Amino acid sequence: MIPFLILTLLAALLAWANGSNDISKGIATLVGSGVSNFRAAVIWGTFWTVAGGIVAAFASQGLVATFSGKGFLDRPESGSAFLTAVAIGAIAWILFASRTGLPVSTTHSIAGALAGAGIVAQGAESLHWGTFAQKVALPLALSPVISVLLVSAVFPLLAHATARFEAYCLCLERRVVVAMPASGAMIAMSTTTETVVATEAECASSPTVAARLSAVDALHWVSSALTSLARGLNDTPKIVALGIVAAATAGVSGVPFYLVVALAMGAGSLIAGFRVTETLARKVTPMSPGEGFAANLVTTLLVGTASLVALPVSTTHVSSGAIIGIGLHRGAETIRWRTVRDMLLAWVVTLPVSALIGAGAFALLR
């Protein structure tokens, strides 16, 4: 029972670290395009991330097997020392990156720590390098490239479609209804509220409009929700994998793990999700609401599809690639290449650094 509790706490801490770094992937475009402030965007992204984590318990369990070591090693290492070392390797790197404002991949971090601890446990020859490359390295390497290409291909079409929505908005109208009885002695008053779609000019001139939201901004909020949902769907099973074996040993169903991980991800997002969000929102490239909507839509499609077919793509790489793709569409001179360079460097060192920490932790723990 004690190893089970330790792994549960470590999985929750890893989920917290994941939330602090990865919440930015679904909401950075909201902040960067001026549609939302930081606080509202973080709350919005947190809600949908937790929802995605809960849905993952029923929709993307294939990723649990991948990140519990099955297929990577000659024989599964299910001992508490091994899984603890993997968690330590991933947590240490993600917390460091979040502290410095760098968006890094939880997928990369867990995979690197898994490989490092596995090599110490069974030797380098026991690691199935081909499987590791196919299931982890290849999707992680190709996903940002595909993301950039998709944004470049999709944005002109989306720009044409969203241009037709820019003249419209969602309006919240409040009307006071007055009812006068036949006697004229009393007047009954009531207030009705309804949501209507109208042109910007009509919303601006109508005295009954209490609040309004442009149609493009509304689409942007929806795309942000879908991106955050897809992120929770993809990341939760990877973290759950660290404790699922110990949970089965203790006779505990795996479903509560998903809830614990999802809530911990939400807590990390709310408390420490601002720093990395600022990097992606304001330090890569400027963007309009339409451009932010396109980037989120591409991220949602790629990450959501990968979750359903159990491919461990990185939301970090996909969303960052989409934002860079927006910058390239605007013109390379609009991209802050120094920030991009720092991000790429962090991505490159994530696997080896996590592997070294995981290997060192396992060497000490065993």
Alpha carbons 284 and 332: distance in angstroms, whole number: 11
Quick check: helix, strand or coil at residue 167? coil
- In this structure, of 63-67, 143-147, 308-312, the range with the lowest mean pLDDT score is 63-67
Alpha carbons 86 and 171: distance in angstroms, whole number: 50
- In this structure, of 64-78, 284-298, 317-331, the range with the lowest mean pLDDT score is 64-78
Please give the pLDDT value at position 237: 83
Query: Between these two residues, 173 and 35, which has the higher pLDDT value?
Result: 35
pTM of the model: 0.82
Alpha carbons 192 and 83: distance in angstroms, whole number: 57
| Mean per-residue pLDDT, 178-193 | 58
Rounded to whole angstroms, what are the CA distances from 83 to 10, 79, 136, 239? Answer: 9, 7, 18, 11
| Mean per-residue pLDDT, 217-246 | 82
Write the pLDDT tens digit of every residue in 286-314: 988 888 888 888 888 887 777 677 666 77
pLDDT exceeds cutoff 80 at 75: no
Question: How many Å from the N-terminal Cα to the C-terminal Cα in the chain?
Answer: 18
Please give the pLDDT value at position 329: 85
Contacts of 312 (CB under 8 A, 6+ apart): 63, 66, 67, 107, 111, 135, 136, 139, 140, 234, 238, 306
